[in-house]
Amino acid sequence: MASFAIEDFVGNGCLQGLVSMLLEEGWDDVPTLKIMNVDDMNELNMTQRQKDALEIRSYLHDRALMQYADKFEESGNSLTKLLNLSTVDLTSKFGMKRGHVARFTDRTAASGGDSLSETYNLHMRRRTTSRNESLYRKDISPVTSRKQSMTRSLRRTKTDISLEQSMAELEIKGGHVFKGIVASMPDEPRACGCVQPTPVVETVAPYSSIENISVQKLTPEYKIGMERLVKTKTATMKASKLWRDKPAVFVCIRRPGCIMCRAEAHQLYARKPIFDALGVQLFAVLHEQIESEVTDFWPRYWGGVVLFDRNMGFYKALGGGNLLKDKFISGFLLNPRAISNYRRAKAMGVDQNFRGEGETKGGLFIVGKGKSGIAYQFIERNFGDWAPLAEVIEICRRLQNPQESQLESITSIQQED
């Protein structure tokens, strides 16, 4: 699984000398760096070799093949030339395994269960310059100077494939009421029906259940040159301060060493530029504080803020006031859907360990700013269930324009009647 640490991303090649400049210009995390277009590269006076290196590393990062980045860069070939090499050349010249060759030459999908479209993953980095007339342009409202700079860059270059179009391609079509949704995956019969399905709540958690949760920041949002872990412990704070001014997504991690939890966190944080453009914050929540587990998890699998929920307030809210738990045998070994989720994460090349408590199930919250409440909560009914990315991004988009969301919801209900 490709790391979100900038040092790991740039490797030992020609991009190393640009790190301080990238930080100064606001290209300070991997997801943002990967959407840099050709005009941005020219403004930084990047050489052709550096441009090729960034394109190669971005492509490999999408496919969890960063172990070949230094060799590919040293070859002096562009990404186009590398993709046109035969399997024999890739294995003999670069030591690429045959299974990795198949993943490298597949231009249609990035590594991960909920990948963005081919358009976002590939054409985004072709840096064309025709005008994009996305319907979502009016919804983009960056809220920090770095995000404003990035958006101005996108508008200035008139990039054909933009963040707005990526969001449009992930749009959910009709039939959803986007205020107060509870979602979960179905629970398949286990052991020929001898094991009962996991019960889940049917109503969204009340705002009061999360308003007074106390959390502690274990890590900041990762930036270039930052310490891998905050050495000074921060004081506890009310979670409500985090969404006072901006909406927020909270992904509640069952166990940071779990292969499925790591894969979920990685595929969500990889879309950080979209959430940035929507003005939505990203937080990962843990219910255990094991320092070695936090250092393994951040920033490799998650580059955002990590919170410690000592009293498991978010986890209890997911279960309607009670923790949702399952045993390893009944919840995993006898659960076909959980096994399928494990195989999906395994295919992404994620490492794992078995440290910490892993029976308390997690999920995801989308909380509106201020006291507007919970817009969406997803429950990890089966071990390794992920909230559908398209649904998460669409709901975050609609939080920007509540009046539009209410109108569409009313229209949807009227059509059903």
Active site residues: 258, 261
Give dist(CA 272, CA 280) in Å, integer.
Answer: 9
Q: What are the E-state strand segments in 185-279?
A: 214-219, 237-238, 248-252
Using only C-alpha atoms, what is the Rg of the chain? 21
43: helix, strand or coil: helix
CA distance linking residue 251 with residue 214, whole number of Å: 16
- Backbone CA torsion sign across 41, 302, 237, 211: positive
Question: What's the order of all strands across the beta sheet hosting 305-308?
Answer: 181-184, 374-379, 363-367, 248-252, 281-286, 305-308, 214-219, 237-238
H or E element at residue 281: strand 281-286
- Distance CA(22)–CA(41), nearest Å, equals 10
* Amino acid, single-letter form, for residue 4: F
Residues 6+ apart with CB under 8 A from 269: 4, 31, 282, 301, 302, 303, 304
Going from the C-alpha of 133 to that of each of 10, 155, 160, 296, 377, the distances in angstroms are 33, 11, 9, 42, 32
CA–CA separation, 294 vs 275, rounded Å? 23
- CB atoms closer than 10 angstroms to residue 20: 10
CB within 8 Å of 129: residues ≥ 6 apart: 157, 158, 159, 160
